[in-house]
A and B are shown apart, each in its own frame.
Chain A
Amino acid sequence: MNNEQSSDLLYLTKEERTMLSLRSLYKHTGYASFKMSRFEEYDLYVKNKEFLIGDSVMTFTDTDGRLLALKPDVTLSIVKNFNGDAGTLEKYCYDERVFRFSKEKHGFTELLQSGIECLGAVDLMTTAEVITLAADSLSRIGTPFLLELSHMSVIKAIVAAMTDSEELQRKIFHAIGEKNLHELKLLCNGHVLFETLDDVLSLRGEPLEVLTQLRLMNLPDGASDGVKELTEVSAILSNLGIPGIVLDFSLVSDVRYYNGILFRGFVGGVPERVLSGGRYDPLMQRMGKSGGAIGFAVYLNTLERFEREESPEHDLDIFLLYDEKDDAVTVSQRLYDLRAQGYSVCAGKEIPNSLSFSKVIDPMGNEVSVK
């Protein structure tokens, strides 16, 4: 990369730099770019409302009377366009703007999101690759980072063995997600499996160690597939030396959409998750597609906080202060030379309030002291 290119990158926001870095990571690993329109048929979201983060969608009527939505999500559009069979594997990456209701902003907001999706014949290799890419993505955003890993079928098997009531299951899942053991105890109402659930949720740490403890527990039927898959994936990750992976079974999601491995990434200094993903075969089935699916999204808007911490002390290196007496040829030559030397510089008769400078000079190159 030449100097000019690197100084171009200097003016990108953390959000934009990360987007480019992630795009290059995903493309380099064989993921094809998925470009799409900002609009999507509203119908797609109505049928899968619970899959969306927040249930509000911004809609408008197209000239032909169709109800369209400003895309609140990318995954649904990618799944909709998948026409492969269970034997093929399609891998896509994207960076797209999505429109969602934001509790913080008390209204709709536009968010930049990057991510990948693998659809079709998802196997162990694919799963491990996606998780590795998630960890790689986090490391490109900042350090320290942590990727929490969980498996829906482990918790689902325990909860399903406790109750058939969908309403109660939903409440139990909610309490699990909050690590709210006191509420969970009340909901489980003395059920013998509460102790098992409590034990599983108290496990947290390095995957292979946690899995050793998990295998010693007496888990209901149905949990074993999850334990097996986690063990196989963790062995691969451990062999590759992927850092920052922890198992935590309080990470759960909607059973109507997710069925396998789930993960969520954090980067030190960002007060919310910056990445989340998982295996979502049930969504594929709901949308009439064959095969499995796994992917994740990186919420680039969460990186705004880095911007404030990383912003340089001054906007520009030099301000060249001149007045009417100065010769325009000399001033413009000085300005041109300084830029050629790689300085960021601008000139004027008055120092603008909106910018800050490392130093102020006159056309002769002498430093001017400014109050």
Chain B
Amino acid sequence: MNKMINVALPKGRLGERVYDMFEKAGFPCPSIKEPNRKLIFENKEAGVRYFWVKPSDVAIYVERGAADIGVAGKDILLEYSPDVYELLDLGLGKCRMAVAAKVDFRDRRDRTLRVATKFPNVARAYYAAQCREIDIIKLNGSIEIAPILGLSDVIVDIVETGSTLKENALEPIATVFPISARLIVNKASYPFNVEKINQIKEALASQCEE
């Protein structure tokens, strides 16, 4: 029997590009491109079922086995540390996790640094490695205004082009780590579907090298 492989894709532009890669890899599901609000699409012949989920939830779906494989940003993987295999760097959605501050910011090591971020675990690990005491301010969006309003000294956030920072009179002062989309796999699903998952991985990898 051809077991269906469940694939969690991140909703949005990145997810669409990732789907195109899966399609090219020989796992098409044309109905996914029809304009509707459906979230689950399957192609029984290709033995694959796709579903759209919030990008930050992909790792949860895969870790808990609701999806066999998925595509998630390295930022999410480092923030949540899911117990999954990370088989491939797809090289898509490239950006970086960075520390940013107001243009006139002067770092003073004699006081606790106030850090606003959507990624508290990432920020904690980054500053712990520098033996730096910090005060984490967990926000869910519009991080850039935190230093402007004096809520924080710096922010730890994803930076793509830096234009949002610039428009808010902020600038990146350090890179925490580079980010790109990764192919992740549930550790219990892998052993039972090793051939098909490796087939998908190889077909995607060949596109990354192009």
| Interfacial residues, chain A to chain B (CB-CB below 8 A) | 104, 144, 146, 148, 178-183, 204, 246, 248, 250, 266, 268, 270-273
CB pair B191–A146 under 8 Å, yes or no, is yes
CB pair B65–A266 under 8 Å, yes or no, is no
CB pair A271–B65 under 8 Å, yes or no, is yes
A272 to B63, CA, bound (A): 8
Residue of chain B at shortest CB distance from A250: B85
A227 to B84, CA, bound (A): 27
A266 to B185, CA, bound (A): 15
Q: Of A104, A146, A180, which contacts B86 at CB under 8 A?
A: A180
* B86, B88, B186, B191: most-surrounded residue (chain A CB, <10 A): B191
Residue of chain B at shortest CB distance from A266: B188
A178 to B185, CA, bound (A): 9
CB pair B84–A178 under 8 Å, yes or no, is yes
Residue of chain A at shortest CB distance from B87: A179
CB pair B83–A272 under 8 Å, yes or no, is yes
Q: What residues of A have a CB within 8 angstroms of the CB of B65 in the complex?
A: 270-272
A266 to B194, CA, bound (A): 13
Q: Of A182, A183, A248, A271, which contacts B189 at CB under 8 A?
A: A271
CB pair A268–B192 under 8 Å, yes or no, is yes
CB pair B191–A182 under 8 Å, yes or no, is no
Chain B 178-202 residues near chain A, CB threshold 8 A: 185-189, 191-192, 194
A109 to B63, CA, bound (A): 19
Asked whether any CB of chain A lies closer than 8 Å to the CB of B24, the reply is no
**In the complex, the 4 A-B pairs of residues with the closest C-beta atoms, listed nearest first:** A271-B65, A182-B89, A180-B86, A179-B85
Q: List 16 A-B contacts (CB under 8 A).
A: A144-B192, A178-B84, A179-B87, A179-B185, A180-B85, A180-B87, A182-B89, A183-B89, A248-B191, A271-B65, A271-B66, A271-B186, A271-B188, A272-B65, A272-B188, A273-B187
| Interfacial residues, chain B to chain A (CB-CB below 8 A) | 63-66, 83-89, 185-189, 191-192, 194
Residue of chain A at shortest CB distance from B85: A179
CB pair B84–A270 under 8 Å, yes or no, is no
A266 to B68, CA, bound (A): 14
| Main secondary structure on A side of the interface with B | loop
A144 to B193, CA, bound (A): 12
A182 to B87, CA, bound (A): 8
* A183, A270, A272: most-surrounded residue (chain B CB, <10 A): A272
Q: What residues of B have a CB within 8 angstroms of the CB of A104 in the complex?
A: 64
Q: What residues of B have a CB within 8 angstroms of the CB of A182 in the complex?
A: 88-89
A75 to B149, CA, bound (A): 53
A148 to B66, CA, bound (A): 22
Residue of chain A at shortest CB distance from B81: A103
A146 to B84, CA, bound (A): 17
Q: Of B63, B186, B192, which contacts A146 at CB under 8 A?
A: B192
A104 to B88, CA, bound (A): 26
Q: What residues of A have a CB within 8 angstroms of the CB of B87 in the complex?
A: 179-181
Residue of chain A at shortest CB distance from B84: A178
CB pair A246–B187 under 8 Å, yes or no, is no
Q: How far is the CB of A285 from chain B (nearest CB, A)?
A: 28
Residue of chain B at shortest CB distance from A104: B64
CB pair B188–A179 under 8 Å, yes or no, is no
A273 to B84, CA, bound (A): 11
CB pair B86–A266 under 8 Å, yes or no, is no
Residue of chain A at shortest CB distance from B82: A103
* A204, A248, A271: most-surrounded residue (chain B CB, <10 A): A271
A271 to B64, CA, bound (A): 6
A326 to B64, CA, bound (A): 53
Q: How far is the CB of A275 from chain B (nearest CB, A)?
A: 11
Q: What residues of A have a CB within 8 angstroms of the CB of B85 in the complex?
A: 178-180, 250
Residue of chain B at shortest CB distance from A302: B188
A165 to B149, CA, bound (A): 43
A352 to B47, CA, bound (A): 43
Q: Of A204, A268, A270, which contacts B194 at CB under 8 A?
A: A204
A271 to B185, CA, bound (A): 11
Q: What residues of A have a CB within 8 angstroms of the CB of B86 in the complex?
A: 178-180, 183
Residue of chain A at shortest CB distance from B198: A204
Q: What residues of A have a CB within 8 angstroms of the CB of B189 in the complex?
A: 271
CB pair A148–B191 under 8 Å, yes or no, is yes
Q: What residues of A have a CB within 8 angstroms of the CB of B188 in the complex?
A: 266, 270-273
CB pair A272–B191 under 8 Å, yes or no, is no
Q: How far is the CB of A80 from chain B (nearest CB, A)?
A: 28
Q: How far is the CB of B209 from chain A (nearest CB, A)?
A: 12
Given A180-B86, A272-B65, 14 other A-B contacts at CB below 8 A?
A: A104-B64, A144-B192, A178-B84, A178-B85, A178-B86, A179-B87, A266-B191, A266-B192, A268-B192, A270-B65, A271-B63, A271-B186, A272-B187, A273-B187
Q: What residues of B have a CB within 8 angstroms of the CB of A266 in the complex?
A: 188, 191-192
Q: What residues of B have a CB within 8 angstroms of the CB of A146 in the complex?
A: 191-192
A104 to B81, CA, bound (A): 12
A246 to B84, CA, bound (A): 19
A359 to B5, CA, bound (A): 39
Q: What residues of A have a CB within 8 angstroms of the CB of B194 in the complex?
A: 204
Q: How far is the CB of A137 from chain B (nearest CB, A)?
A: 16
Q: How far is the CB of B166 from chain A (nearest CB, A)?
A: 30
Q: What residues of B have a CB within 8 angstroms of the CB of A179 in the complex?
A: 85-87, 185
A292 to B28, CA, bound (A): 53
Q: What residues of B have a CB within 8 angstroms of the CB of A178 in the complex?
A: 84-86
